[in-house]
């Protein structure tokens, strides 16, 4: 049986815990002023076109939906220790959102100050979102699905597990360090030292830029990827199976596996520091000649 929702509309609240332990509540055009823990320990809450100014708004909450709402900078740390949240069309200007949460579903949201956001969470779905100033986003967060996503911010998804990303632009130095079981498709990743110490990282039709990418990886897979001119000293001490289309600046001491480059390699460095089993095969072949195809098509 669907519960009857109590409606609060066009009202303002502030101070300490004004809506503490409420349930089956719908908020429309409500403002939460400075204070703490306004909607703590609640369940079955809906908030639409609301403005949040205070800290720690949704703590220990279960089953809530936030639509077309604004979290201003002073509302930092507003979503912690909660579960089953749906966010649609929100603007978040505050840092440190989402800690130790389960089942987060976000779509059409913008985060302008996303430092230390999305830590220690499980079960995350993100679509059509943009995050900025997102240093250390997604640390220790598992079971993540992302589609149509733009991120500006370094050190993202470190120590994360079971992450799948599609159609994304990540401008993120030191992304995916010590991550495990991450797959990224049809995306662009820009930043130095990508994926160091990652396990089971898979990149499909991705473009990568930045110095010394993908070193110390275990079971790295790359399918039909391209690499920027600054991708030097790639794959050091990594076990790898890769097909790369186009030029590669330099490859250094991969440990095992195979690398096929359909293009050129500026330098292949295999020296006395290579680690056992030291049996990675590197094959460089010319890129396919498509001129005859285009002539036939004409």
Token pair recorded at residue 201: 């990282």
For residue 66, which of 79, 56, 53 has the smallest C-alpha distance? 79
pLDDT (0 to 100) of residue 287: 81
Residues comprising the chain, all counted: 298
Q: List the chain pLDDT tens, one digit each, 298 residues.
A: 678 999 999 999 999 999 999 999 999 999 999 999 999 999 999 999 999 999 999 999 999 999 999 999 999 999 999 999 999 999 999 999 999 999 999 999 999 999 999 999 999 999 999 999 999 999 999 999 999 999 999 999 999 999 999 999 999 999 999 999 999 999 999 999 999 999 999 999 999 999 999 999 999 999 999 999 999 999 999 999 999 999 999 999 999 999 999 999 999 999 999 999 999 999 999 887 655 544 554 5
**Distance of alpha carbon 135 from alpha carbon 113, whole angstroms:** 9
Contact status, residue 194 vs residue 222, Cβ threshold 8 Å = no
Q: Where are the alpha helices (DSSP H) in 162-243?
A: none
Q: 254 Cβ partners below 8 Å, 6+ apart?
A: 235, 236, 237, 238, 239, 240, 280, 282
Dihedral through CA 101, CA 40, CA 153, CA 212, nearest 10?
-30
**Distance of alpha carbon 258 from alpha carbon 68, whole angstroms:** 49
Token pair recorded at residue 162: 């079971």
Phi first, then psi: give them for residue 293, nearest 5 degrees: -60, -45
For residue 248, which of 289, 283, 198 has the smallest C-alpha distance? 283
Question: What CATH number was assigned to the domain covering residues 1-94?
Answer: 2.160.20.80
For residue 267, which of 243, 255, 251 has the smallest C-alpha distance? 251
**Distance of alpha carbon 78 from alpha carbon 250, whole angstroms:** 45
**Distance of alpha carbon 107 from alpha carbon 254, whole angstroms:** 39
pLDDT (0 to 100) of residue 3: 80
Contact status, residue 39 vs residue 60, Cβ threshold 8 Å = no
SS3 81: coil
> Which residues are bridge partners to 87 per DSSP?
66, 106
> Which regions of the chain carry the CATH code 2.160.20.80?
1-94
- Provide the CA 199 distance to its chain's centre, in angstroms: 17
Residue with the two structure tokens 């302008």: 112
Contact status, residue 53 vs residue 73, Cβ threshold 8 Å = no
DSSP 196-207: TT-EEEEEES-E
DSSP state of 74: G
pLDDT (0 to 100) of residue 260: 98
* pTM as predicted: 0.94
């Amino acid at each position: 049986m669907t519960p009857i929702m109590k409606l609060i509309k066009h009202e303002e609240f502030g101070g300490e815990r004004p809506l503490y332990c409420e349930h089956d509540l719908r908020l429309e055009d409500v403002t939460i002023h400075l204070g703490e823990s306004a909607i703590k320990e609640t369940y079955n809450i809906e908030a639409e076109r609301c403005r949040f100014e205070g800290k720690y708004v949704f703590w220990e909450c279960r089953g809530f939906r936030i639509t077309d709402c604004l979290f201003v900078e002073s509302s930092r740390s507003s979503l912690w220790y909660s579960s089953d949240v749906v966010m649609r069309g929100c603007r978040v200007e505050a840092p440190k959102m989402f800690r130790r949460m389960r089942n987060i579903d976000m779509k059409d949201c913008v985060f302008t100050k996303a430092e230390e956001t999305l830590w220690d969470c499980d079960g995350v779905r993100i679509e059509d979102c943009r995050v900025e100033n997102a240093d250390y986003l997604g640390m220790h967060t598992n079971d993540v699905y992302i589609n149509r996503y733009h991120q500006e911010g370094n050190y993202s998804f470190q120590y994360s597990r079971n992450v799948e990303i599609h159609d994304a632009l990540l401008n993120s130095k030191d992304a995916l360090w010590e991550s495990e079981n991450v797959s990224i498709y049809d995306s662009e990743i820009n930043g130095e030292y990508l994926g160091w110490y990652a396990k089971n990282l898979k990149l499909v039709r991705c473009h990568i830029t930045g110095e010394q990418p993908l070193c110390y990886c275990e079971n790295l897979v790359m399918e039909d990827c391209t690499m920027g001119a600054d991708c030097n000293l790639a794959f050091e001490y990594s076990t790898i199976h890769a097909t790369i289309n186009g030029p590669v600046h330099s490859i250094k001491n991969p440990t095992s596996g195979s690398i096929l480059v359909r293009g050129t390699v500026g330098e292949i460095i295999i020296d006395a520091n290579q680690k056992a089993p030291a049996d990675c095969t590197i094959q460089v072949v010319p890129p396919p000649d498509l001129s005859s195809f285009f002539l036939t098509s004409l």
